[in-house]
A and B are shown apart, each in its own frame.
Chain A
């Protein structure tokens, strides 16, 4: 199993409500594209944050590619997990251009290799023309493409997508879904996609899991 989530419990500290995730278990194989659907407040985004290392489970284990990244006495930092994440609001750095945003995670590469990789990602997302623009100078759909390109650029072992299409209108969504699928096929990414919209998940994922009560 490439990603293994074993009986994970999580509650945000200080909140009166009980567990957000109570004994949740899940697994997926390398190269798989899995969608997670479910109503709001059931812990879909929290699950991604736990996998990325932005939160730590109170109980249970998370294993990525055979390495335990979260357990009772283990916490591997997000920067050491080789997990890419696309956030709902994209989080494009406003003081960096499109190319600089994509190059951000490639700091371990030498300059030429980094430039080459950025060009590949720009080409894959058809953003070559916009490389020197700042995030506020491009459209929502283009911002979304940059966010995916940036997350994929360092070749993460696992790509996490947290409702990346929720800010787009219906017409644009359809277009971007097709592009995302093409991109995933091309990069052979292992991907966990969270959304409340089953159409989004069907278009990109091979398997869909439902979290929480229907």
Chain B
């Protein structure tokens, strides 16, 4: 037996349940890719020719413009906020510490509807100026291009991705770096440009790339503003023209764009390897800001909280007041129950698969092992429209096979039921659960597992007795995060929900599509408030943990 085989030997043990869960997760992610790959060779319809000759250039231009502009704007806002929150003490800092994360609870499509209500002709802002000062702002808002509105919406709701990663990077830096920069002269602006920015750009760029992936995935905002992005084009080809082949080809092109974004992420990740991360022995001491600088910082933070969270929330509350009488309908109740059930089922499946995959990855090393684990996390990068097409193609085939072998089963058992939607949620949000479980395992390391095994327990016995109790917090946080993400999801729900069934997200979308924006209030608030509760809970948990550590 060769050296390679000898290295694999500890795995005599190894084709076990954990490896099976991981291999299954990997295959599930692979399936939609394989289904789509078939589309490359499918014959093209008439519509594809038209799209290719007349529309494709616009799709590329609009999608890239939207993703790149949002990436840049969230980079600037996120970095500025992370910088002032990490280096300065100012009035209201504790408040902003909590509230700057809350825009994460607002799905961009809900923010888009809210802003339309807020700034539209009959909205609060224009009505106020008209009634109080006899000022007509209508032409001003009408003249702003739809792309700019979309970029605004994405920026104010997605900047926390950049803010969070940049702050985490700044927390790891030693005060000595910035103190030396100041002592060497040039002032605070030079310190930011010459020391701060080069240190934190990889983290901020990683956040901005996540934002770009979110923009590429978006359907709600683009369709509301009538933008010609790839996602709206896929929907138009599929539902408008009934041309699945064109939709598949567009999905493949979108996937190619995502591939370039992932290459950028890889380049940024490689740049991060050169980061010098100091120990926490000399953490940054906050400098008290006073006067104009303090006013500027407070204004910046207040703007981010107001634009990303308070404004959409207040608009929704205002609409709820207007639509209160007819808000509680049986349809909404059914949508709520359905959303909660599929979200719970998908969350459970994601967490089981993620835990199995992470545990297999930490126990069994090797290149193949890394490939399986990383491959399983690709689902988050696949835009929902692409994923939906891949999944639906697969499940239609699966139904055809099933009907031959099990004729007594209902017709289109997979493709007409909730299974397909739950499966799609699992692939899309697997990475979220995976990262939380991975962080949990990283905290405990492998020593407890090794101790347990030398005391006679098997890998699985060790998992239930030792690992599981120790990562329970990560599992709870991960479950909550996946659940909230599924609650907010729109494109997959629109494409894959069973006939005559709605989720909270699709209910909001349908109301907005039918121009009854007030009616979006209650389902939107259900989504926003669940997200807000989760974020506040997580923050209080983190504070308790930090207090506990410093107490020790």
Residues of chain A touching chain B, judged by Cβ–Cβ distance below 8 Å, are 13, 52-56, 58-59, 72-75, 77-79, 81-85, 87, 89, 91, 93-95, 104-105, 107-108, 150-151, 154, 160
CB distance from B544 to the nearest CB of A (A): 16
Q: Assuming A56-B10, A58-B7, is B365 touching A105 (CB within 8 A)?
A: no
Q: Which residue of A lies closest to B446 (CB)?
A: A54
Q: Is the interface of B mostly helix, strand, loop or mixed?
A: helix
Question: Would you call B1 an interface residue if the criterion is a C-beta within 8 Å of the partner chain's C-beta atoms?
Answer: yes
Q: Assuming A13-B365, A75-B9, is B447 touching A105 (CB within 8 A)?
A: no
Q: Assuming A75-B13, A89-B447, A93-B466, is B6 touching A58 (CB within 8 A)?
A: yes
Task: State whether B455 touches A108 (Cβ < 8 A).
Answer: no
CB distance from B457 to the nearest CB of A (A): 6
Question: Would you call B273 an interface residue if the criterion is a C-beta within 8 Å of the partner chain's C-beta atoms?
Answer: no
Interface residue from B1, B447, B455 paired with A151 (Cβ < 8 Å):
B455
Question: Would you call B366 an interface residue if the criterion is a C-beta within 8 Å of the partner chain's C-beta atoms?
Answer: yes
Interface residue from B366, B450, B457 paired with A87 (Cβ < 8 Å):
B450
Task: State whether A73 touches B9 (Cβ < 8 A).
Answer: yes
Task: Indicate the member of B3, B12, B451, B457 with the most A CB atoms within 10 Å.
Answer: B451
Q: Which of B461-482 contact A (CB under 8 A)?
A: 465-466, 469-470
B501 neighbours in A (Cβ, 8 Å): none
B12 neighbours in A (Cβ, 8 Å): 75
Task: State whether B453 touches A91 (Cβ < 8 A).
Answer: no
The complex places the Cα of A214 from the Cα of B469 at a distance, in Å, of 44
Q: Which residue of A lies closest to B457 (CB)?
A: A79
Task: State whether B451 touches A91 (Cβ < 8 A).
Answer: yes
Interface residue from A58, A83, A94, A107 paired with B470 (Cβ < 8 Å):
A94
List 20 A-B residue pairs with CB atoms under 8 Å apart, sorted by A's residue number. A13-B366, A52-B454, A55-B10, A56-B7, A56-B9, A58-B7, A72-B6, A73-B9, A77-B453, A77-B458, A78-B453, A79-B458, A81-B454, A89-B447, A91-B450, A93-B451, A95-B469, A104-B457, A107-B457, A151-B455
Sorting the interface of chain B by its residue count into under 10, 10 to 19, 20 to 34 or 35 or more gives: 20 to 34
The complex places the Cα of A83 from the Cα of B450 at a distance, in Å, of 12
Task: State whether A79 touches B365 (Cβ < 8 A).
Answer: no
Task: State whether B9 touches A79 (Cβ < 8 A).
Answer: no
A75 neighbours in B (Cβ, 8 Å): 9-10, 12-13
The complex places the Cα of A13 from the Cα of B7 at a distance, in Å, of 9
Residues of chain B touching chain A, judged by Cβ–Cβ distance below 8 Å, are 1, 3, 6-7, 9-10, 12-13, 365-366, 447-448, 450-458, 465-466, 469-470
CB distance from B319 to the nearest CB of A (A): 47
Listed from nearest, the 6 A-B pairs whose CB atoms lie closest are A105-B455, A91-B451, A78-B453, A91-B447, A85-B454, A56-B10
B469 neighbours in A (Cβ, 8 Å): 95
Interface residue from A72, A78, A93 paired with B454 (Cβ < 8 Å):
A78
CB distance from B185 to the nearest CB of A (A): 42
The complex places the Cα of A72 from the Cα of B470 at a distance, in Å, of 35
B465 neighbours in A (Cβ, 8 Å): 104
B458 neighbours in A (Cβ, 8 Å): 77, 79
A87 neighbours in B (Cβ, 8 Å): 447, 450-451
Q: Assuming A56-B10, A59-B6, A87-B450, is B1 touching A73 (CB within 8 A)?
A: yes
B452 neighbours in A (Cβ, 8 Å): 93, 104
The complex places the Cα of A94 from the Cα of B447 at a distance, in Å, of 12
The complex places the Cα of A210 from the Cα of B187 at a distance, in Å, of 58
Task: State whether A107 touches B456 (Cβ < 8 A).
Answer: yes
Task: State whether A104 touches B455 (Cβ < 8 A).
Answer: yes
A104 neighbours in B (Cβ, 8 Å): 452, 455, 457, 465
A91 neighbours in B (Cβ, 8 Å): 447-448, 450-451
The complex places the Cα of A95 from the Cα of B365 at a distance, in Å, of 27
